[in-house]
Amino acid sequence: MERFFPLNHLTAEQLHDLYRDACKVGKRLVEYDQPGEEGHYEVNLSDDETLKNISDESQNYLVFHENFEDEPDATIIAFSLSSHPFTTAYIDIDNTRLDWFVKKYGLTQWWQMEGSERKYYPFAKFYTVEPMKRHLLN
């Protein structure tokens, strides 16, 4: 299962808080993706430089992976960096921490690719309200 949660409802300050919270419990990686070329290149940016370039105008999202292809189960938070084109800061956190991030940052919807189309769903189709419990939809 792979679910994408847009973070476009968060302000820049909330995104900065999310970045700091995720860095406390996860592993950070900044990558540059050269357009038209296969592969990614790790970029060495400081936390200050990364925070300075996290904007609510960029494409920021959280991805939940569970039993998805050959990838390890994880929740990945992705921040596109505004002054560094094609560069994204990723923070991998353990899936067991997702509930805390969901509650604190008010995630309300998710999307997934269905064929060539992006389909949006309300958050309740992934979690029940109390206690939070994941639905296995695939």
Asked whether residue 10 carries a pLDDT value surpassing 90, the answer given is: yes
Q: What percent of the chain has pLDDT over 70?
A: 90
Tens-digit pLDDT profile for residues 100-111: 888 888 887 888
Q: What is the arithmetic mean of pLDDT over 30-59?
A: 90
Kindly list the distances between the CA atom of residue 32 and the CA atoms of 20, 35, 84, 126, in Å, as whole numbers in the listed order. 21, 9, 9, 31
Residues in CB range of 93: below 8 A, 6 or more apart: 22, 25, 26, 74, 75, 76, 77, 101
Tens-digit pLDDT profile for residues 54-104: 999 999 999 888 888 888 888 999 999 999 989 999 999 988 888 788 888
- The Cβ of residue 121 has, within 10 Å, a number of other Cβ atoms equal to 13
Q: Give the pLDDT of residue 127.
A: 57
Q: Where are the domains of the chain?
A: 2-125
Asked whether residue 136 carries a pLDDT value surpassing 90, the answer given is: no
Q: Give the pairing of strands 87-93 and 27-32.
A: antiparallel
